[in-house]
Every structure is written in C-alpha cells, then in structure tokens.
Structure 1
Amino acid sequence: MDVNPKISKRDPKISERDPFSTLADSLLYIIVSFLPFKEAVRTSILSKQWRYIWRSTANIELDESFFVNHEESDQIREERRRDFLEFAKEWIRSYQEPTVKNFAFSCSKPGKFLTVIQEFIKFALKRNTKGLALDFSDPEWKENDTPSGALNLPSEFYKHVSLESLKLVACNLDVSAFNFRNIKDLSLGWIELNESSMKTLLNNCPLLESLCLKNCWNMFQLIITDTINPRLKKFVLEKCIFFGGPNWVYIDGPSLRFFKYSGLVGYFKMENQRCIEEAELDFGSEPEFDMLGDLLCELLEQLFSAKVLTVDSVFLQVVPCGTEPLRTSNPLNTKHLILKTSIHNNELLGIKFLLESCPFLETLTIDLGPSRIFPDYVPPFQFTPAYCWTRDLVLHKCLMRSMKVIEVKGFKGTMNELLFLKYLLVLGLLLEELKIYLSNDVDEDGNNIETYRKRAMERVLPSIISSKKLQINFMN
C-alpha cells in the first residue's frame, strides 16, 4: 500500500462529478476504515477504483448474521454458516495489511469449527489489534440459560497484553491468565464469573473506563471501588444471575458517569455517586409483583445526580409501594426523564411519584409500548385511575417552573394517553415544544392508520394550553 498520498492524474470532468476520484488509494484506505464493515463492503460498487479498497479496512467485522437467517431450518442455517466461514477464510488469506485496528468475529455453534475459528483469532492477534470482539452465543438461548461448551481461547490470546478494548461472549475465560493492563473497555457475556474471578479481573484492569456484564452467572456479589478502578466511567449490568439470593451490588467511587441495570430487584449500595450523568433502570425480569418500593426508592436516591433517568413499567408499578408512596425523601437532579410505559392504570402512581421527585425536570419523554403489567398489583393506597389527571390534581413543581419539552413516542390516542397529555398541557406553564410521534399500529378500535391518526390529532389539539410559547408537532 502506498503510504505517501498523491493526487493521481484523472479526467477533469470525472473529478468535477466525483471529488474522491482525485484521491490516491492510500487516502481511500483511511476513509473506508472509518466506516462500519458492512458499509465498507458496499463501497465496492461505487467504481472500479473502489472495487477492492474495502479489503484493506482496518476495522474488520466477520459476522455470521451477514449470511445466516436464524428463522430458517437447521439444515439451511448449517449450509449458510459454512458459506460464511469459507468467506471468512478467503478474507483472511487475501488480507495484506500489517495491522488491524479492530477485529470482530461472531459465530453461533462454533463446536464443529474450533480449529479454523482459533486461526481467525490468531490472525487478529498477529496484526496487533487493539480492539477484539468475539461472540459465540446462540440466538436460541433464553435469558436464564447457563450454556455449556463455550469456546476455549488460544494461548496466544492471553499474551496479547496491548489490547485496549475486549468483548467476549460465550468463551471459556482463564481468569488466572488474564493480565490486560491496558484495557479501557471490557464487555463480558454468557460467561461464568464468581466473586473471586470478578475481583481478579477488576484488579488486573487498572485503566478500565467501561465495564459491561450481560447474562453472566454465579456471582454472589459485585464490588467495584475507586481504589481498584479509579477511571471507571460506564457500568452496565444486564440480566446477570447472582448465586444464593437477591442481587447485591456495591459501588464506591466518584468517577461513574453512566449506570445501566437490567434484572431482578436487589440490594444496591452506591456511595459517592455525585458525578453520574445518566442512569437506566429495567426490572422487567421480576416474575411477580412484590412490595419492594423501599429498595427502588433507595436506589433512586443514590442516583440523585443523574441528569438523564430512564425507568421501565415494573419500576413505575413498584416504586410507590414503599414507606414513602408520594416522592423520594430528597429531590432528584433529573433534567430529562424517560418513561417506558403504556400509561396503564398500574403505572399512574409511579408516574406521579417521579414527577413529584424531579422538581428540576426540563424534558419528559413518554416512550409508549408494551409493558410488563402485574395482574396481582396492589396500589399503596386507594385511588381512582380515571381521576388521576382530572379531579385528584397535583401541581408538580417541574410543570410550573422548569418543564419545556414533552416527547411522546408511539402515540395512539388512548384515553389514558389523552388524559395524561391534557394534564401536562394545562399545567405546563413554561412548555415550549410538544413532539408527538404517531404509532404505526392500528388503533384500539381497529381503524386504519390514517383514520386513527387524524382522530388522535383532533383529540389533542382542542386541549386547554397554558403556555403561550408552545409549539405542537405531529410526526410519523
């Protein structure tokens, strides 16, 4: 590859139409390496000059989903998987560049192809890749599965100490040999991790800035401190199975900026979290309704500094069912609240709880969709859902003092949606913008999309609007 970029002589008429045609191949190699792998492949149809440029990209992603449709029969999927591996082998053989910046490989059911897959991994390591992502999970696995037969990593893997980003899914990980002192971004999925192995991993990653654990199992508790990982800014814990009881998570450090949790309600102790900017909470895994409001309220107060807060339907149903059913003991600093909800009757008190707990709220996003509704839900006190946004009015401070933007996604114009929206319009004194993204589904009466969209608009527009600055936009 020519490392000295030079403008080649080309037809000036072509150059006027296509400014890239004046660039040397060495520059095009750099440009294509900024593209996602699939987009890089598509550049091959642009012109003869671009035909083979994509083969020199520094960001390689070999994913069986490019070939395999997991809805097809087992036989067809197996044939497609073999085609994919042949493509991958040909790619590896023809690749001429000395280094690879990022290498990602994904293949389910790797058992029959262990030798060739290990050669792919060695290929990336020999080219001194800084980012490695290996995914051998099966789309058919269920949330609580603990699969066996994960792929063993070659010994060369543990000697590649220059890695800065690592993602491993469904791999057998030898924690005792894990010594990647330069890693900043670590993601592990479908891997057994006990308390001891997790501690070893964290101790050996002093530069860690982002940690993601998904579908891992056998942990008793998870402890992260700033004395071991002082640079950690992002932490994601999704659907991990804790051994012997409820989840127990302890985090002590001032550096965390982003926190995402998905799983069962557990015990959280998050000390000194004054720097968190965004938090996402999803408890959709809960099998049944339980009076765990105090645990969620305590977690919420520990995340008080989060400017952006996302909660799900289960959170809305459970959080008011604690000692304090109306609000958190101390106000939250949330400026943008995202509610993943269906505005079901079970969720109404949780919505009011959060509006009252967020006096500085500026943007409210109502992300409408299917919710995990508990049939055995018990409200913390007697109330009439139909009066929630009409007779039983609460003048939340955020509506009177700070809220400026409301976004509604998936709007259908149901009664609960309309009552809540009209309540916001009546009391939102400072509102500047209401953005309504209409649902593509048919409405509750089975009307076609255009008919129900028109009706939805007619239901909203006659509302009494308090803010003179408000602009209402309906979007598809």
Structure 2
Amino acid sequence: MNKGLDEVELDFGLESVCSCSMADFLYKLFFQVFPLRALTVCTYILQVVTMGEDFIGMEPSFPLTHLTLKTAMHDYEQVGIRYFLNSCPHLETLEIQLGPGRIFHDDYEAPYNPLDPHELWIRHPVVFSCVTQTLREVEIKGFKGTPNEIYVLNYLVTNGRVMKKLTVITSREMSNRGNPTVYRNIAKEALMIKSARKICS
C-alpha cells in the first residue's frame, strides 16, 4: 500500500481534455501519490479538480505543510484554489506562481453559477482553518495587480492571523494593466490592510 510521497508535483500543462471524468481521475490520483510534505499543482488542475460530481465535501485532507500553486489567476481557477486551501489544514507555506496557462473557455463547467471571484474571496469568503491557524508564510511571484490577484491577496492578508512573512514579487513585464512600478504600487496598497512582515520587490 502506498503510504504517500514526501513531495509531489503534478503538471498537466499539455493535457487537452477538460472534463468531469478527468476530475474524478485527479481525485483518485491524489490518494495514490498522497503528498506528505509538499505539493505543486498547475493551472489545469485548478480548473478541472472542481468539475467532479459532488466534489464539495469530498476534498482530501493532506498532512502537507507546503503548497505551490502555478496559476494564471483566471476566474475558472478560483474554486480550485479554495479546494486546495481546504484540503491542507496544516499548511504553513503557500507559494503562488503567477503566469500564463491554458484556460478551457469552451469545456470548463463552473460548480457555482454565476462564478464571481469577488463574492468568493471578499463579500462572502469561506475562511479555511489553515489560513487562520497554521499559515505562516506566503510568497506571490509575478504579481500584476489583476482583480483576482488583489482579491486573493486581500483575503490572505485579512484572514492570515498567524502569518509572519508575506512576500509579493511583482512582474517585470509590461501589460495592459501597466508596468512594474504600477504593480508595486498596487501591491503596497493591498499590503496596508494589515500589519505584517511585508516585502515587495
């Protein structure tokens, strides 16, 4: 019997099928590899994992303390991010790596209708136990100040009661949202929500 692996990285970046059956496959895969300390997941998993039947209340409970999310922070990934926060009650370190990823506009089926990230993170958020009780360090890389990035950052800053270190590394790329200076200003404004150890670079 597989007792689990110390560190697991799941990257389905080349996968072209987004379906409920893939969600069920991923759920079974989680229990086969069962990460014990660290888990890294990609944008594909964040979109697909919540498409399974009756996924709510069926989240696995991992003993891991380090979670890395590779995400485009698209609307379709938001419920998946919440899924993993709920699945990691002992989480101590959260790393969010922001970057491009394939978004399944035609195949994705949202578990909620309508899917509103502001509603999920700001207006009526579910505050998971790891965020208030164990999460001590958060690092966000590639921050550009998109609405969803700001929502998640505000959620973590507002509810991270035991957080000791929050690092926001802004993107060096130009975009329709501005430039690195603009990104840094947005990050600094968001970080003023709560006094914590903050580093913007």
The normalised TM-score by structure 2 is: 0.91
Aligned partners of 1:330, 1:294: CA distance in 2, in Å?
12
Unaligned runs of 5+ in 2: none
Does 1:416 pair with 2:142?
no
CA contact (8 A) 2:23 2:51 kept: yes
SS in 1 for 2:24: helix
Hey, what does 2:157 align to over in structure 1? 425
Paired residue secondary structure (1:277): strand
**Is 2:170–2:180's contact at 8 Å kept on the other side of the alignment?**
no
Alignment counterpart, residue 186 of structure 2, candidates 445, 450, 456: 456
Q: Which amino acid aligns with 1:353?
A: Y
2:34 is matched with which residue? Answer: 304
Mind listing any 5+ residue stretches in structure 1 that lack a counterpart?
Answer: 1-271
**Alignment correspondent of 1:12:** none
- Tell me the equivalent position of 2:169: 437
Q: Deviations over 1:187-233 (max 9, x none)?
A: xxxxxxxxxxxxxxxxxxxxxxxxxxxxxxxxxxxxxxxxxxxxxxx
1:328 CA drift (Å): 4.1
Q: Does 1:474 align with 2:192?
A: no
2:14 is aligned with 1:282: no
Counterpart of 1:402 (choices 121, 127, 134) is 134
Is this contact kept in 2: 1:327–1:357, CA < 8 A?
A: no
2:123 aligns with: 391
Distance 2:163 2:37 in 1: 19
Deviation string 1:71-120 (CA, Å, 9 cap, x unpaired) is xxxxxxxxxxxxxxxxxxxxxxxxxxxxxxxxxxxxxxxxxxxxxxxxxx
| Aligned sequence identity (%) | 35
**In the aligned structure 1, how far is the partner of 2:123 from the partner of 2:191?**
21
User: How does 1:240-255 map onto structure 2 within 5 Å?
Assistant: none
**Structure 2 equivalent of residue 357 of structure 1:** 87
In structure 2, the partner of 1:313 is 43
One-letter amino acid of the structure 2 residue matched with residue 449 of structure 1: P
Distance 1:387 1:334 in 2: 28
Greater fraction of residues in helix:
2
Letter matched to residue 122 of structure 2: T
The separation in 2 between residues aligned to 1:282 and 1:329, in whole angstroms, is: 19
Cα distance in 1 for partners of 2:184, 2:29 equals 42
How many residues align? The count is 198
Amino acid at match of 2:112: F
* Residues 15-414 of structure 1 mapped to structure 2, 5 A cutoff: 272-291=1-20, 292-326=22-56, 328-376=58-106, 377-382=108-113, 383-414=115-146
Shift of 1:329: 4.6
Change in 2 beyond 3 A, CA 1:327/1:310 = farther
Q: What's the offset of the Cα at 1:327? A: 5.1
Maintained 8 Å contact 1:368/1:408: yes
Distance 2:150 2:82 in 1: 16
Query: Structure 1 pair 454/275, CA: closer, same or farther in 2 (3 Å)?
Result: closer
Q: Match of 1:474, as an amino acid? A: C
Question: Does the 8 Å contact 1:400/1:428 carry over to 2?
Answer: yes
- Higher RCO (CA < 8 A, seq sep 6+): 2
In the aligned structure 1, how far is the partner of 2:45 from the partner of 2:95?
Answer: 16
RMSD: 1.7
Post-superposition shift, 1:286?
A: 1.8
Instruction: Determine if contact 2:157/2:191 at 8 Å carries over to the other structure.
Output: no
